[in-house]
Amino acid sequence: MTTTSPGPAAATGTPADDLPGAPLLTVVVLCFGGLVTALTQTMVIPIQGELGRLLGTTEANASWVVTATLVAGAVAMPIAGRLGDLFGKQRVLAICAGALVLGSLVCALSNTLVPMLAGRLLQGLAMGFIPVGIALMREVTPPRLTATGIAAMSATLGVGGAIALPLSAWIVQHYSWHALFWVSTVLAAAVALAVVALVPHVRDAVPGRFDAVGAVGLAIGLVALLVAVSKGNEWGWAHGRTIGLAIAGVLVLLAWGSYELRVSDPLCDLRVSARRPVLLTNIAAIAIGFGMLAQAIVVPRLLQAPVETGYGLGQTLIETGLWLAPGGLVMMAFSPVSGRLIGLLGARVTLMIGGIVLGLGYLFAVFLTDAPWQLMVANCITSAGVGIGYAAMPTLILENVPVSEAGSAVGINGLMRSIGTSIAAAVMVAILTATTVDFGGHALPSADAFRACFIVGAGAAFLGVLFAGLVPRRRTA
Residue 231 backbone phi and psi in degrees, to 5: -100, 5
Q: What does the pLDDT read at residue 232?
A: 82
pLDDT digits (tens, 9 = 90+) for 68-117: 888 888 888 889 888 888 888 889 999 999 999 999 999 999 999 999 99
What is the pLDDT averaged over residues 164-175?
A: 80
Of 420, 398, 426, 453, which is closest to residue 3 (Cα–Cα)? 398
Helix (H) or strand (E) holding 178: helix 177-198
Which pLDDT value is given to residue 334? 82
Whether 19 shows a pLDDT value over 50: the answer reads no
Greater pLDDT, 403 or 12: 403
Confidence of residue 4 (pLDDT cuts 50, 70, 90): very low
Q: How far apart are CA 242 and CA 199, in angstroms?
A: 43
Q: Is the pLDDT of residue 164 over 90?
A: no
Cα(332)–Cα(32) distance, integer angstroms: 12
Rounded to whole angstroms, the maximal C-alpha distance in the chain is 71
Q: What does the pLDDT look like over 393-402, one tens digit per residue?
A: 888 888 888 7
Backbone angles phi, psi at 21, to 5 degrees: 85, 150
Task: Indicate whether 167 pLDDT > 70.
Answer: yes
Distance CA 82, CA 410 (A): 9
Q: Examine the pLDDT at 351 and tell me if it is beyond 70.
A: yes
Q: How far apart are CA 240 and CA 246, in angstroms?
A: 10
Write down the mean pLDDT value for the chain: 84
CA distances from 73 to 123, 157, 176 (A): 8, 12, 26
pLDDT over 70 (residue 202): yes
pLDDT confidence band for 378 (50 / 70 / 90): very high
CA distance 320 to 411: 32
What is the pLDDT confidence band of residue 474, given thresholds at 50, 70 and 90? low
Residue closest to 267 by CA, chosen among 224, 221, 199, 229? 221
Supply the pLDDT for residue 3.
40
E strand intervals along 52-160: none
In the predicted structure, residue 298 carries a pLDDT above the cut 80: yes
| The pLDDT value given to residue 16 | 45
Residues in the chain: 477
What is the rounded distance in angstroms from the CA atom of residue 3 to the CA atom of residue 474?
A: 9
Task: Please measure the distance between the N-terminal and C-terminal CA atoms of the chain and give it in whole angstroms.
Answer: 8
- Structure confidence at residue 8 (pLDDT): 43
pTM of the complete model beyond 0.85: no
**In terms of Cα–Cα distance, which of 362, 366, 373 is closest to 313?**
373
Helix, strand and coil content of the chain, in percent to the nearest 5, comes to 80, 0, 20
Q: Which residues contact 160 (CB under 8 A, 6 or more apart)?
A: 34, 35, 36, 37, 38, 39, 40, 41, 42, 328
pLDDT at position 11 is 40
Better-scored residue on pLDDT, 424 or 30: 30
Of 197, 86, 69, the residue nearest 125 (C-alpha): 69
Which of 270, 261, 303, 342 is closest to 450 using CA atoms? 303
Q: How far apart are CA 30 and CA 22, in angstroms?
A: 13
Amino acid occupying residue 227: V
**pLDDT, tens digit, 9 for 90 and up, residues 247-275:** 999 999 999 989 888 888 888 878 878 88
Task: Average the pLDDT over 336-356 and give the result.
Answer: 87
- Least Cα distance to 36 among 97, 81, 80, 83 occurs for 97
* pLDDT band, very low/low/confident/very high, at 431 (cuts 50, 70, 90): confident
**What is the secondary structure of 374-393 as a DSSP string?**
HHHHHHHHHHHHHHHHHHHH
CB 128 within 8 A of CB 85: no
What pLDDT does 465 receive? Answer: 93
Q: Which amino acid is at 33?
A: G
Q: Is the pLDDT of residue 170 over 50?
A: yes
The whole-angstrom separation of Cα 322 and Cα 376 is 9
Cα 205 off chain centre by: 25
User: Given pLDDT bands bounded at 50, 70 and 90, which one contains residue 18?
Assistant: very low
Helices (H) and strands (E) in the chain, counts: 19, 2
By mean pLDDT, which of 40-49, 260-269, 348-357, 452-461 is the weakest? 40-49
Higher pLDDT, 130 or 163: 130
* For range 326-337, the mean pLDDT: 81
% of the chain beyond a pLDDT of 90: 24
Backbone angle region of 314, left / alpha / beta, with phi > 0 → left and psi within -120 to 50 → alpha: left
Confidence of residue 476 (pLDDT cuts 50, 70, 90): very low
What are 443's strand-pairing partners? 438
| pLDDT for residue 244 is more than 90 | yes
Three-state DSSP state, 268: coil
Q: The dihedral of CA 230, 423, 286, 448: what is its sign?
A: positive
DSSP string for residues in 7-68? PHHHHTT--GGGSSS-HHHHHHHHHHHHHHHHHHHHTTGGGGGGHHHHHTS-HHHHTHHHHH
Q: What is the pLDDT of residue 117?
A: 92
